[in-house]
Amino acid sequence: MSDRPNPEDMYREVDWMKPSDYPLLQELDKYDGWHTPKNLSLNLPNTRNWLGQRCRKLEEHDLVERHEGEPGYRITDRGRAFLAGELDPADLQESDDTDDDETDA
């Protein structure tokens, strides 16, 4: 069994995460397609400005992707892996120490 924390509590171990990130990713995962922060704010207890900030931060870590021409976001496969509890806190840290696998067989 893994010692990974519950994804809902991951913000306690990842310095850039906030408690609102988990429900935001859940909301993005509910529906296919693109979502604006304004639309997300209809179903979440956060302002669209806050959700826009969080979406941009989640995009930096490849948990969501931004639409090229509009202020819309959708969850990525990595975001779904996060929700499924498949990522460790180390996978999400701001400054990744490169653990280059230099073993070429």
Q: What are the residue boundaries of the structural domains of the chain, listed by start?
A: 7-86
pLDDT of residue 71: 87
Chunked into runs of 10 residues, the chain (105 residues) has average pLDDT values of: 78 95 97 95 97 97 95 96 94 61 44
pLDDT value for 2: 56
Domain 7-86 has CATH 2.70.98.10: no
pLDDT recorded at residue 1: 47
What pLDDT score was predicted for residue 95? 54
pTM of the model: 0.84
| CA pair distance 76, 67, nearest whole angstrom | 12
CA distance 104 to 77: 28
